[in-house]
Amino acid sequence: MSKGRVPGMLTLEELREAIDQGEIETVLAVFPDMYGRLMGKRITSHFFLDHVVEGGYHACDYLLAADIEMDPVPGYAYASWEKGYGDFHCVPDLSTLRWASWLPNTALVLCDVESESGERPVEVAPRRMLQRQLQRAREAGFTVMAGSEIEFYVFDDSYAAAKNKNYHNLQPMGYYVEDYHIFQGTKEDPLVGAIVRALDGSGVPVEFSKGEWGPGQQEINLEYSEVLIQADRNVVYKHAAKEIAFEQDRAVTFMSKWDETLAGSSMHVHISLWDGNGNPAFPGDNQMGPVHASDTFGWFLGGWMKHTPALTALYAPYVTSYKRYQAGSFAPTGIAWSFDNRTAGFRVVGHGPSLRIECRIPGADANPYLVYAAALAAGLDGVENRIEPPPIFEGDIYQSDDLPHVPMSLVEATAEYERSQFVRAALGHDVFNHYLHFIKTEQRKFDEVVTCWERARFFERV
């Protein structure tokens, strides 16, 4: 499965050499927060080598207990005013060291988050949550391979201009549906092409970009890899895309639904298991419609599907996320599996070694670490407990009324999450409660706001 050295990645010795030659002056030492944003510090290259490589650095623990506005949210057991909002310890994972090729003279490294003393990992950190599920997979004898398809919209407006417009009447770079359109892709290539080239030069190898089913909507597909590497690449991709757009006085958004009249943006995730000898674990002799699969494949699919309602809050973590789930929109509404059927929440694709499960439920706004941690927790439970999937579905799933459905609101998804003993056990009690509070806080923050829609509807007429 190894493809050798990835261009754009750096060893520690290569970093030293680049620093000595004046090619790198700054190292971004970062970690993902609960929203999947990169947080951390810009560290001078000499200080990084002399102190941070071995000793790490400290940051405030409120970064894993704050909302998207950086408001310290009461009610978290992990960090609070009562506990004084102390520090945690950020330890560079040197296997993630890479050029940040879209920035001048800059490298980037992802960090793991530990307690202030460095004695134990911070379990509520998103990267740690995925690492725990990967440990379960390794103990079961599996390597997990994954790929993500993350969509986004591109705009001629800058971020500042969009804010000054109160995010109304924005101008996408396209004005018609551009799915697979090469001409429209050419118009958008000054931005999208710059993102692709920057990713390829930063250890995030790209397969392709393409127009999507909305005006100004694009998708960049990264090469598949081991799942933790894939999640790391996903957050670098989203971060770099925003910074490159900013430099061009443009904007991109990964909102799962930025306009109710247009297609939503998804994060389709592909997962396959491989055994300890590097052989694919999904192909086999079981006939499941047109799919020839192993017991492992069926059980992983069965567990993933069974626990979908309880885990949707991690696939779709915001109130707005649920506005994407509409019939006839290429976003799923029913929990069913099918072969190469884009109306299915679980679309099975490939044959033989390429056989894999594509889950179409997560949105582009989701935190990749939480998405993959949730998917693995569910699928591995299926393998452990031999959970069989339902029969394959054929036809238009949007027209079926007798299937279980994807939760259609954050309220519904939160209730499913909260009542699930499986999720509590899979994530651990403290992590479960931490993210339950995160989800409820997102709903509370929305419920407190009077929206533009409400003012336009009621201001004059009630």
181 and 73 together in one domain: no
pLDDT of residue 174: 93
Q: Which of 103, 122, 141 is the last residue of a domain?
A: 122
pLDDT tens-digit profile of 157-208?
999 999 999 999 999 999 999 999 999 999 999 999 999 999 999 999 999 9
Q: Which pLDDT score, from 0 to 100, does residue 286 have?
A: 96
The answer to whether residues 242 and 308 belong to one domain is yes
**Domain CATH code at residue 43:** 3.10.20.70
**Angstrom distance (rounded) from CA 86 to CA 450:** 35
pTM for the complete prediction? 0.96
In order, the DSSP letters of 337-397 are: EEES-TTSSEEEE--GGG-EEEE---BTTS-HHHHHHHHHHHHHHHHHHTPPPPPPP-S-G
Looking up tokens 């009077």, which residue turns up?
450
Calpha distance 336→345 (Å, rounded): 6
Point out which residues pair with 109 in neighbouring strands. 29
Phi, psi of 143 (to 5 degrees): -105, 140
Say yes or no: 200 and 68 in one domain. Answer: no
Half-sphere exposure (Cβ direction) of 351: Cα atoms closer than 13 Å = 3
Mean pLDDT over residues 430-441, rounded? 98
Tens of pLDDT along 44-76?
A: 999 999 999 999 999 999 999 999 999 999 999
Domain match, 208 and 320 both: yes
122, 143, 172 - which closes a domain: 122
Are 65 and 150 found together in one domain? no
Domain, as residue range, for 173: 133-455
Tokens (6 digits) for 376:
């693995």
pLDDT in tens, 130-158: 999 999 999 999 999 999 999 999 999 99
400 — pLDDT class (breaks 50, 70, 90): confident
**3-state class of 326 per DSSP?**
coil
168 and 77 in one domain? no
Does the structure show a pLDDT above 70 at 426? yes
Residue 118 scores a pLDDT above 90: no
Q: What distance in Å separates the CA atoms of residue 162 and residue 174, rounded to the nearest whole number?
A: 16
Section 280-305 average pLDDT: 96
* First-residue to last-residue Cα distance in the chain: 63
At residue 1, does pLDDT exceed 60?
Answer: no
Residue 3: predicted pLDDT: 62
Token output for 219: 């998708």
Residue 329 has pLDDT above 90, yes or no: no
The CATH number for 314's domain is 3.30.590.10
Kindly state the average pLDDT of the residues 385-391.
Answer: 97
Is residue 5 a part of any domain in this protein?
A: no
- Average pLDDT for 101-114: 98
Percent of the chain at pLDDT exceeding 70: 99
Q: To the nearest whole number, what is the mean pLDDT of the chain? A: 96
Per-residue pLDDT at 414 exceeds 60: yes
Q: Is 172 left (phi over 0), alpha (psi -120 to 50) or beta?
A: beta
Return the pLDDT at 119.
84
Asked if residue 423 belongs to a domain, the reply is yes
Question: In the predicted model, is pLDDT for residue 2 greater than 70?
Answer: no
Percent of the chain surpassing pLDDT 90: 94
- pLDDT tens-place string over residues 235-279: 999 999 999 999 999 999 999 999 999 999 999 999 999 998 999
Amino acid at 148: S
* pLDDT bracket for residue 86 (50, 70, 90): very high
The domain boundary, picked from 87, 122, 157, lies at 122
Residues 162 and 86 occupy one common structural domain: no
Is there a contact between 314 and 374 (Cβ–Cβ < 8 Å)?
yes
Q: Which has the closest alpha carbon to 340: 395, 388, 383?
A: 395
Average pLDDT over residues 435-460: 96
